[in-house]
Structure 1
Amino acid sequence: MIDNTIHSTTIELTTSFHDTDAMGVVWHGNYLKFFEKAREALFQKFNYGYKEMLESGYMWPVIDTRVKYVAPTIAEQTLQITASLAEYENRIKINYLIRDLASGKKTTTGYTMQVAVATQTKEMCFVTPDIFLTCFGLLK
């Protein structure tokens, strides 16, 4: 069972002018970068960052993603980005919630899905490796 009080993390990020498009709002593609920053913080919380992933013999490519834009964000807006582990048995699903820090208003939601790929063989694993489950305290 996933405990989202444990298996989630929240970061703060202030958008920059270079994040915006010609209309002055944060360009839609940048939200995947924001998700990545939160996902990286979540994995590091459990000592399974990119260095540890590779050392464990696995890489975790994103195979699916979804972004729902609820409200626009602008340059120099501080966002609170929460990444929460939602699935882990055969793939990893991370849910995201982005809120404006000042108002608490939800601006964006989404998810990413990742699968384990063995670095030596480049073959996809159909079961989440024990190293991930151990790091995240999910090994039964």
Structure 2
Amino acid sequence: MVEARIRVIYGDTDQMGVVYHANYFRYFEFSRSEYFRARGGSYREMEREGLALPVVEATASYKSPARYDDVLLVRPRVSEVKRVSLTFTYEIFREGGSDTPLCTGRTVHACVSREGRPTRLPEALVRLLHEAP
């Protein structure tokens, strides 16, 4: 299991001291990068090979607020791999908190060429997504 650790900075919060809702999508993105890194891959390498994985759908469900200086644990997981797309799901927990997530989410990514055309996920990428870190 990959777990990305993030400390909430003041700039991530709103006037009430609560993490602004859109920042959870940044946390999802950070955890995806860590997911690839933990498996020996990177977005940068994919881009060098002429591929990109843009987000085509994103959702988040907020359960409980995160606040300034909280340490968050983001757990990304690949939940579905199709021919030209893949889906990540996420759970965000407060370090030292309960086993109930503060936020859950999902992002769907299309695999596209440098020209922006849908393309089949390379077999090497599919293997990398499923290997244990």
- TM-score w.r.t. structure 1 length? 0.85
Among candidates 106, 110, 113, match of residue 115 of structure 1: 110
CA distance in 1, matches of 2:91, 2:130: 23
Identity, % of aligned pairs?
24
Instruction: Quote the residue 1:31 is aligned against.
Output: 24
Partners of 1:56 and 1:131 within 8 A in 2 = no
After TM superposition, list the pairs within 5 Å mapping 1:60-99 onto structure 2.
Answer: 60-90=53-83, 91-99=85-93
Cα distance in 1 for partners of 2:50, 2:127 equals 14
Q: How many aligned residue pairs are there?
A: 129
Amino acid corresponding to residue 98 of structure 1 in structure 2: I
Corresponding letter in the other structure for 1:67: A
Greater CA drift, 82-91 or 68-77: 82-91
| SS of residue in 1 equivalent to 2:60 | strand
Larger displacement relative to structure 2 (90-99 or 45-54): 45-54
Contact 2:78 2:129 in 1 (8 A): no
Structure 1 equivalent of residue 96 of structure 2: 102
Contact map agreement 1:10 1:82 (CA 8 A) in 2:
yes
> TM-score when scaled to structure 2?
0.89
Once the two structures are superposed, residues 69-97 of structure 1 have per-residue CA deviations (whole angstroms, 9 ceiling, x without a partner) of 00011100111110001011231100000
Runs of 4+ residues over 4 Å off in structure 1 = none
Q: Runs of 5+ in structure 1 lacking a partner?
A: 1-7
Aligned counterpart, 2:6: 13
